[in-house]
Structure 1
Amino acid sequence: MAEEGVSSQIQVQASLSYKEESRFVGAQTHLGAHMSCWLLGPSGVRIPLQDGRAVILGRGPHTGVADKKCSRHQVKVVACYADQDAVITQLGPNPSFLDCEQLGRGQSGKLTHGGTLYLVNQSHPFKLHYSLSSNGTASNTAQKGLKAANKTKRGRNGKEKEAQSSPNPKRSIKDFFAASPMKSSKRQLSPERGPEMKRQKRDEESSDTSMKEDEEERLAEEKLKQLQELAEKSLTERSKSAQLSSSSSSSLKGCLKSSWQQIGNLLLYTAAGVKGSDKIAGFDIDGCIITTRSGKVFPTAPDDWKIVYPEIQPRLASLLKKGYKVVFFTNQMGIAKGKLRPEVFKSKVEDILTTLQLPVQVFVATGPGIYRKPVMGMWNHLCEKANDGLTVDKKQSFYVGDAAGRPENWAPGKKKKDFSCSDRLFALNLGLQFHTPEEYFLGWKSAPYSLPNFDPRKTDSTARLYDPPSASLTSSKTEVIVAVGYPASGKSTFFHTHIIPKGYVYVNRDTLGSWQSCVSATERALKEGRSVAVDNTNPDPESRKRYVDVAKAAGVPCRCFHFSASLEQAKHNNRFREMAPSDSKHAKVNDMVFHSYKKHFVAPALSEGFSEILQVHFVPDFKDTQSEILFRQFSEG
């Protein structure tokens, strides 16, 4: 097949006119369109590689490898026909080798024509083959094709004579591959010369043909080499020209080369051809653009995906024609948790866009923080740093996602409840028009949905701080104040703002380590005649009784400050602390701690021995406008 391909290529070249030579030289920069490339295994397994298309190789029937040390997704292979090589990226845990070079997980290397990929531990070799060698000269296969072309040419001597007899013969690019044909003898044999002269003539013709073939092959190789060198020179000059003009025309022509970027917990992929625009068409990926091929909720393998609806590709293509920039936004917490390797997901993104055959920009939030939907970090990065300096018009932009807060059976066919509302809240935070995939791609009617009970936009920063308003926050006499409330309900900020500056001793389990240490610190402070503020969650009467008893023993009153923030408010505060640099002093609280408090909570009562119970409300105090904007975003779907 490779020989036929090269022979066919040479015949096509031979049919071009001399005036088309420059066009042929330019075409040589795209020889990949006429090439074939494959990996050849030890047992004769032949794995074809398409130009620029990722192929995942590993243990299985496709490769014939049964070695357990070889992952089913051991390497990703991407052939580059222009360079006549392949980029190999290792995905599996055990090392692969490119000839003698070892790869580690996530590492990439180039394999040139004739090089060998060892799938795992220098075993299971696969050799890379191209129809042309990597140095641009004709390979053995190409030489065989040349011979075939020359024989075909010799079989058309009659036609050549006609061309030579015309007054102004049309020069053919065939002249680059062979010298002027040597004329065969036209002498007529006289009868008396007999068989001996016939044999002599055959010997002369055979000798002439052999010399002719050798000379034609030598000249063909020289001319083909010249053409390749001209093509490479043309490609280099064009590349330099593109680099010089890229700074002025990038916003018009779009991104010239696909690339990945890592910015903290953000992965950003910009495909070749992506252009900035004032109109953004945003889409979630999982459940919106793709779904699992297996039918499972979560993918069982990197290639367990398919495009959700056939309407998706043409609809996205139509948006691009209308001047929209198509952008995907996706949360992938599995990367931060170590359940999903970044290089595997990167490969998946590239394969999705290869299938769609569209220039798309992809934002991936790999962990918690400002980039995770529904928080606006990915969108802000797009507008500020990844849109070629163009200002986005939100009125013309929109967002589509499947996490829309829809209830069980939101549509006929026993539709499941949406796992969250993060996509709808993302659009709500941004002020964008929102659609579900069914509404946007299929034209379905809007489905019912519900938003979270807690709305950060409604938090009142001017509300009363505590009740009853007639109470005093501090006392001139020695006392014990015991806090009760969720983690992240504002206890520490409140105490350090209103209580500790008045001379109270601050007792906190986070700093002292145990409740026993907190009780001992309280006893010491009271013996010194100092008041104490106990900043712990103290959800039940048992935990609170420890301090009530210490106060009674010292003969001082004990008051309770009950922080009234709800579970949803406390969780929102916790996420805000993650995102706001000014609140980095607070450690993140695990969800398990919140739910443990809720499980054990018993409302405090005067009967426990408290002299007074104050209800302390969460009233945010913003240091700057940016903090307030961040706080008032929905942070959990």
Structure 2
Amino acid sequence: MSCTLVGPSGIRVPLEDGRAVILGRGLDTGVADKKCSRHQVKAVACYAEQDVVVTQLGPNPSFLNGEKLGRGQSGKLTHGGTLYLVNQSHPFTLDVSLSSNGTACNMPQRNLKASDKTKGGRSRKEAESSPTPKRSIKDFFSVSPSKASKRQLNTERDQSEVKRQKLDEQDEEERLAEEKLKQLQEFAEKKMTEENKDTHSSPSSSPAKACMKSSWQQTGNLLFYIAAGVKASDKIAGFDIDGCIITTKSGKVFPTAPDDWKILYPEIQPRLASLLKKGYKVVFFTNQLGIARGKLIPEVFKSKVEDILTTLQLPVQVFVASGPGVYRKPVMGMWNHLCEKANDGLAVDKTQSFYVGDAAGRPENWAPGKKKKDFSCSDRLFALNIGLKFYTPEEYFLGWKSAPYSLPDFDPRKLDSSCRLFDPPSASLTCTNTEVIVAVGYPAAGKSTFFHTHVVPKGYVYVNRDTLGSWQNCVSACERALKEGRSVAVDNTNPDPESRKRYLDVAKAAGVSCRCFLFTATLEQAKHNNRFREMAPSNSKHAKVNDMVFHSYKKNFVAPNVSEGFSEILQIHFVPHFKDSQSETLFRQFSEG
């Protein structure tokens, strides 16, 4: 049986049994309509049912025989039915062709002769039952002898006959490849059955039931997939996906289309199969921020994941961090969800588990040749946060020696909660006389927490641009407070003399002193604090700060000096304090690679 979508211009889009195909604007459909997304629909053929399930992905509707599909909705298409790709335009008609005996089969049968024979003279049934398919002659010769002999044939031989033979050869290669995949799948299923019967094959693992049906689930920014055949285990073999399990077929850094991928190394599939045999649970962990940013459609990425696992022919659990927050590597939210809610209650032994990823903090030319600098260190830090042994793909799959790497300069594990809060230690944080305190420091440097803990309770009026909206409003609030005889704490970044002079002038006009509190948190520390706020919003009322704001402060920063008119300058150090142990655990993790 075969399923094909046929366009009005004769373009044919073949649909293999059970394999998702993404259709939309592009060369494969001949559609140039801008209203049609490049990822307009997903089509999955079911040969047993002789139909195709179509799922709407693009923002504009598609139609099945006049029935409108909304985004995320699905419908079935049968033989002769028409899919209108977008807005009842660009029709594609489904052509379902049955096998010669009128029954559906699991594989397309193309150009088979009536006797249904293979080229080796065996029947198709005999070929499928053979434990090891015979190799193609191409495995032993760089040029097929049959092709070489054709060159000596009469040059006037009918060209259509030559083309037909070439097609037969291509079909034979496809058939052998399909048979090989089928044998791999049967082998894996056989091994899984043997392992279920022999509970002593992995002494460290408790018997666990295999998942019977593949499914996707979602919680917040976390998507996770459990494939049929996945079993809980106390040993986890974790892997990143991009750059570790797959790479692009195009050779570009980022995929150009949903199907622009291939398995990175031929060693990957047998190595993963070996892990499963040893009682490991194989789990993929991947960051896909493009989903939250609207650049990647969730359904498209889900189909890609399913296609990867179909190619590997292995039961794998997959976790996808679709946005920022606690699930995004290197923060260990995905790992925690696995251990707490997605391993059938079986405790994980970290000493027997490990993680493999390509974002390892390696410098440029970490290996001879064209090796580029790693784009980040997030995979290595993910393993470090969890406490797992870490490998790069080259180390784990190819046996390469460990490459040099570097960790971030800022290490949240080393922050001391008992260090001195300010310098000089002889200074006083507040004053009995009316005064103005002007803060200087990065966003998320701890200014607000400090003021509300140590200064505002002493009767100081708190002035902040985030709440008042502009520096002009802050200056006016400062003037009003001083007229009432109250001291003021100005909680703004104030990176340069110009921004600080506004409050120095107000203080001078009121005849009071003005001190500067310089918050010493570094850029890396402030960014980490900002990410912690994002991960634990209940611990902070602050909105996320854009990276551009941090770098703008750094660019404009001029260290304050008493010559500007300050009576005193105190250095305020970031000293972390936590509401509970969970908050501290989260804060102590590397949050960016």
- For Structure 1 versus Structure 2, the TM-score category normalised by the shorter chain is 0.7 to 0.9
Secondary structure at 2:555 match in 1 = helix
Deviations 1:311-338 (A, max 9, x none): 1111111111111111111111111111
Counterpart CA distance in 2 for 1:337 and 1:392 is 33
Deviations 1:364-386 (A, max 9, x none): 11111000000000000011111
Given that 2:520 and 2:572 are in contact with CA atoms closer than 8 Å, whether structure 1 keeps it comes out as yes
**What residue in structure 2 maps to residue 244 of structure 1?**
none
Deviations 1:406-441 (A, max 9, x none): 011111003111110000000000000000011011
**What residue in structure 1 maps to residue 379 of structure 2?**
423
Deviations 1:83-123 (A, max 9, x none): 33321122344322222221133332222455332333334
Residues 496 and 628 of structure 1: CA distance in aligned 2, closer, same or farther (over 3 Å): same
What is the deviation of 1:499?
0.4
Question: What does 1:405-444 align with in structure 2 at a 5 Å threshold?
Answer: 405-444=361-400
**What residue in structure 2 maps to residue 583 of structure 1?**
539
**What residue in structure 2 maps to residue 102 of structure 1?**
68
Counterpart CA distance in 1 for 2:442 and 2:24 is 50
The answer to whether structure 1 residue 465 and structure 2 residue 421 are counterparts is: yes
Counterpart CA distance in 2 for 1:48 and 1:538 is 63
Higher helix share: 1
Aligned-partner residue type, residue 561 of structure 1: F
Secondary structure at 2:352 match in 1 = coil
The answer to whether structure 1 residue 111 and structure 2 residue 77 are counterparts is: yes
Counterpart CA distance in 2 for 1:296 and 1:440 is 24
The answer to whether structure 1 residue 516 and structure 2 residue 472 are counterparts is: yes
**What residue in structure 2 maps to residue 129 of structure 1?**
96
Aligned-partner residue type, residue 98 of structure 2: S
Residues 606 and 110 of structure 1: CA distance in aligned 2, closer, same or farther (over 3 Å): same
**What residue in structure 1 maps to residue 315 of structure 2?**
359
Counterpart CA distance in 1 for 2:270 and 2:340 is 29
**What residue in structure 2 maps to residue 83 of structure 1?**
49
Identical-pair percentage = 85
Counterpart CA distance in 1 for 2:351 and 2:434 is 60
Counterpart CA distance in 2 for 1:546 and 1:65 is 60
**What residue in structure 1 maps to residue 146 of structure 2?**
none
Question: What does 1:228-627 align with in structure 2 at a 5 Å threshold?
Answer: 252-627=208-583
What is the deviation of 1:41?
4.8
**What residue in structure 2 maps to residue 51 of structure 1?**
17
Given that 2:22 and 2:300 are in contact with CA atoms closer than 8 Å, whether structure 1 keeps it comes out as no
What is the deviation of 1:458?
0.2
Aligned-partner residue type, residue 62 of structure 2: S
Secondary structure at 2:486 match in 1 = coil
What is the deviation of 1:130?
5.9
Secondary structure at 1:549 match in 2 = helix
* Residue segments in structure 2 that go unaligned for 5+ positions in a row: 106-114, 116-205
Given that 2:78 and 2:94 are in contact with CA atoms closer than 8 Å, whether structure 1 keeps it comes out as no
Counterpart CA distance in 1 for 2:405 and 2:103 is 67
- Is the deviation greater in 339-348 or in 93-102? 93-102
What is the deviation of 1:583?
2.3
**TM-score of the superposition, structure 2-length normalised?**
0.79
Secondary structure at 2:291 match in 1 = helix
Aligned-partner residue type, residue 375 of structure 2: F
- Is the deviation greater in 494-503 or in 110-119? 110-119
Aligned-partner residue type, residue 126 of structure 1: T
Counterpart CA distance in 1 for 2:546 and 2:586 is 21
What is the deviation of 1:349?
1.1
Residues 552 and 261 of structure 1: CA distance in aligned 2, closer, same or farther (over 3 Å): same
Counterpart CA distance in 2 for 1:322 and 1:270 is 19
What is the deviation of 1:49?
3.0
Aligned-partner residue type, residue 120 of structure 1: V
Aligned-partner residue type, residue 332 of structure 1: Q
**What residue in structure 2 maps to residue 184 of structure 1?**
none
Residues 107 and 612 of structure 1: CA distance in aligned 2, closer, same or farther (over 3 Å): same
* Residue segments in structure 1 that go unaligned for 5+ positions in a row: 1-34, 133-137, 143-151, 153-249
Secondary structure at 2:351 match in 1 = coil
Counterpart CA distance in 2 for 1:373 and 1:141 is 45
Larger Rg: 1
Given that 1:116 and 1:128 are in contact with CA atoms closer than 8 Å, whether structure 2 keeps it comes out as no
What is the deviation of 1:504?
0.3
Counterpart CA distance in 1 for 2:440 and 2:580 is 29
Counterpart CA distance in 2 for 1:141 and 1:276 is 36
Secondary structure at 1:119 match in 2 = strand
**What residue in structure 2 maps to residue 630 of structure 1?**
586
Given that 2:77 and 2:94 are in contact with CA atoms closer than 8 Å, whether structure 1 keeps it comes out as no
Given that 1:111 and 1:128 are in contact with CA atoms closer than 8 Å, whether structure 2 keeps it comes out as no
**What residue in structure 2 maps to residue 12 of structure 1?**
none
Given that 1:479 and 1:531 are in contact with CA atoms closer than 8 Å, whether structure 2 keeps it comes out as yes
Residues 45 and 414 of structure 1: CA distance in aligned 2, closer, same or farther (over 3 Å): closer
Given that 1:403 and 1:424 are in contact with CA atoms closer than 8 Å, whether structure 2 keeps it comes out as yes
Aligned-partner residue type, residue 67 of structure 2: E
Given that 1:328 and 1:360 are in contact with CA atoms closer than 8 Å, whether structure 2 keeps it comes out as yes
Residues 38 and 608 of structure 1: CA distance in aligned 2, closer, same or farther (over 3 Å): same
Counterpart CA distance in 2 for 1:496 and 1:340 is 42
What is the deviation of 1:75?
2.2
What is the deviation of 1:584?
3.8
| Aligned Cα root-mean-square deviation (Å) | 2.3
**TM-score of the superposition, structure 1-length normalised?**
0.74
Counterpart CA distance in 1 for 2:33 and 2:352 is 54
The answer to whether structure 1 residue 74 and structure 2 residue 43 are counterparts is: no
Given that 1:41 and 1:127 are in contact with CA atoms closer than 8 Å, whether structure 2 keeps it comes out as no
Counterpart CA distance in 2 for 1:596 and 1:299 is 32
Deviations 1:135-166 (A, max 9, x none): xxx97999xxxxxxxxx9xxxxxxxxxxxxxx
Counterpart CA distance in 1 for 2:387 and 2:470 is 46
Secondary structure at 1:269 match in 2 = strand
Secondary structure at 2:449 match in 1 = helix
- Is the deviation greater in 340-349 or in 404-413? 340-349
Deviations 1:329-366 (A, max 9, x none): 11111111111111111111111111111111111111
Question: What does 1:177-196 align with in structure 2 at a 5 Å threshold?
Answer: none
Counterpart CA distance in 2 for 1:82 and 1:122 is 28
Secondary structure at 2:93 match in 1 = strand
- Is the deviation greater in 481-490 or in 121-130? 121-130
Given that 1:40 and 1:129 are in contact with CA atoms closer than 8 Å, whether structure 2 keeps it comes out as no
Residues 373 and 100 of structure 1: CA distance in aligned 2, closer, same or farther (over 3 Å): same
